[in-house]
Amino acid sequence: MTRNVDINANGMVDNADSKILNAAFGCVQGNSCYNPRADLNADGTVDSNDNATLNAYFSAPDFLPDYTISSSAVFVSVPYATTVNVTISLTSVNGFSGTVALTTADFRMGLLAPYSELDATLSSPSVILTSGSTATVTLSLYSVVAATHTLVVTGTSGAFSNTIIITVNTHNCNSRFNNCPF
Ligand SMILES: [Ca+2]
Ligand SMILES: [Ca+2]
């Protein structure tokens, strides 16, 4: 299995793809810096083999069907006990059509309490894309505990997975009783 060498799916194997690969260089599956799209030969490590593949196709146009995933916000502040909605958009590139399954994974940093929880709920577990179309789902975020979360939303369709990372700051200040700074 190999990934799309046009890592950012902008239609060309270019410097932007090199930058993405370099940012994940040396990272292995399980590291937070590991980027599956930069692991072009899908062996679990982003290394010189992947770089060689990218260089071999440098400046080549991308005609592989794929899709992009984006978010209405990549930094989200969630007030105490308040639901904040973010729109996740998936767009067909190069004629892609198919079903994309969506999942969320939460990596917590700066945890203030061991029982800290972030409710991250998608309005649909999958979307169906037709050629050239864009589909959206709503990501609802809710928490009552202060923490910084690194939320990874992953779309998977066959061999192609695309991710977007959203940083979510949750707060424990209850504005009913306090003057909260957010
Ligand atoms: Ca590119
Ligand atoms: Ca690799």
* Domains of the chain by residue range: 1-62, 65-182
CA distances from 126 to 29, 101, 135 (A): 24, 4, 10
Which ligand has its closest atom nearest to the C-alpha of 35?
2
Cα angle for residues 166, 70, 20 (degrees, 5° grid) = 80
- CA of 48 relative to ligand 2 center, distance in Å: 8
Q: How far apart are CA 2 and CA 160, in angstroms?
A: 9
> What's the pLDDT tens digit per position in 119-160?
999 999 999 999 999 999 999 999 988 888 889 999 999 877
DSSP state, residue 30 = T
Protein fold of 1-62: Type 1 dockerin domain (1.10.1330)
- CA of 18 relative to ligand 1 center, distance in Å: 8
Which ligand has its closest atom nearest to the C-alpha of 9?
1
Instruction: Work out the pLDDT band at 39, boundaries 50, 70, 90.
Output: very high
Q: What is the pTM of this model?
A: 0.67
Which ligand has its closest atom nearest to the C-alpha of 49?
2
Residue appearing with tokens 């062996």: 43
Find the largest Cα–Cα distance for the chain: 61
Q: Which CATH superfamily is domain 65-182 in?
A: Immunoglobulins (2.60.40.10)
